[in-house]
Structure 1
């Protein structure tokens, strides 16, 4: 079952929308799905639907609401890809983490205080790392996260399991950045990194030209097993 929800900000003086997918029975946990630079589009909503089919309450907050509510972009359309890149520059990531934290609290309330995870893609992968370091989320996954070397100073604060999927031919994350991620995180007891040889940014997108079917299925299977281990009751 899918619906929309209104979530209060941490300060309680404003609110933002979120897409919600619920399982048929009782949710075994909740997962916050963190958008790419393209908003809560059809691909992100489908990610939520698939998680609901696995038994989770899945919620995707509209993190761009302060810029413009309801943004939905298609990365296969050049002007919309550029709009997404522009939005990343306008977006306040610290505010975004606070909105994710508000969403975690909302989701935890919806499932009676149970465990809440998070999964993010691209910009959302970066925000997933920040969520793992700055909130009480129970388990987190990031796909093709951008700019992680700039955040490694926060790695000491990661107290719960974090999984990162790293495509080696990522056009937005060069070899030096990937090397820095491994050097900074391989020895972290809570962090697991998987490399995907020859795959590019966006390989696990649900729809569109960027998807690599074999790579996406491999990464998603690892994510499913990770959440089953760390979130399921």
Structure 2
């Protein structure tokens, strides 16, 4: 696969968008939105996995106004440092930057077919909000902590939507996940996936305090199937 970093303009400056292109040189587009650790080794590995499936992936540096190209270490000290950076992050601007990146992704000559988004942790909250205003072919949100607080947005999401959570997540208590399940009930475009074995950030293989190997593998299979159904990669 090929990788590069594009510069994308916002109203108040420019920021990096990291791009992965599959070996085929083209494919559907996936907007990949970071966790608090930034566009670090875990997000890059997710991007590589998506590109290996045939997707063109774009991951913006969302913390550029606070700390450009922030990469927090995947230990408790790095988590605390990342939370401090994230505390200075403006979520509304992050949604706007995500929308700008989505437009950039759609315009890439390598992008053919559908376009969707995978948001993880912080990114899972941002792309849920983005989906309320931007049409996409599929939206996957992994343990977005703000999702239970913004359920009214679900009325405005028309895209196929996968909301994934861990049943033992200390940051998103199970009763809050149950609120999401109730809000999604009867909505044919919304799937809520809960792994009762797992906590927060359980797909992140770089974070040993959070990673759950079996749950991560199961979630990835669900995500790949979801993408294949709604944004298939054409030969």
Q: If the length of structure 2 is used for normalisation, what is the TM-score?
A: 0.93
Q: Which residue in 2 is equivalent to 1:191?
A: 190
Deviation at 1:26, TM superposition (A): 3.5
Q: Which residue in 2 is equivalent to 1:5?
A: 6
Deviation at 1:113, TM superposition (A): 6.2
Q: Which residue in 1 is equivalent to 2:82?
A: 84
Separation in structure 2 between the aligned mates of residue 127 and residue 112 of structure 1, nearest angstrom: 22
Deviation at 1:46, TM superposition (A): 1.0
Separation in structure 1 between the aligned mates of residue 77 and residue 206 of structure 2, nearest angstrom: 18
Give 3-state SS (helix, strand or coil) of 1:169's partner.
coil
Separation in structure 2 between the aligned mates of residue 149 and residue 213 of structure 1, nearest angstrom: 25
Separation in structure 1 between the aligned mates of residue 216 and residue 111 of structure 2, nearest angstrom: 32
Separation in structure 1 between the aligned mates of residue 21 and residue 111 of structure 2, nearest angstrom: 14
Q: Which residue in 2 is equivalent to 1:98?
A: 96
In the alignment, structure 2 segments of 5+ residues that lack a partner are none
Give 3-state SS (helix, strand or coil) of 1:129's partner.
helix
Deviation at 1:8, TM superposition (A): 2.0
User: What is the 5 A alignment of 1:107-122?
Assistant: 107-110=105-108, 111=110, 114-122=113-121
Deviation at 1:59, TM superposition (A): 1.1
Contact 2:63 2:86 in 1 (8 A): no
Give 3-state SS (helix, strand or coil) of 2:132's partner.
helix
Contact 1:186 1:193 in 2 (8 A): no
Deviation at 1:131, TM superposition (A): 1.9
Contact 1:108 1:114 in 2 (8 A): no
Deviation at 1:147, TM superposition (A): 2.1
Contact 1:41 1:72 in 2 (8 A): yes
Once the two structures are overlaid, the 10-residue window that deviates more, 63-72 or 13-22, is 13-22
Separation in structure 1 between the aligned mates of residue 25 and residue 18 of structure 2, nearest angstrom: 18
Root mean square deviation, CA, Å = 1.5
- 1:167 correspondence with 2:158: no
Q: Which residue in 2 is equivalent to 1:147?
A: 146
In the alignment, structure 1 segments of 5+ residues that lack a partner are none
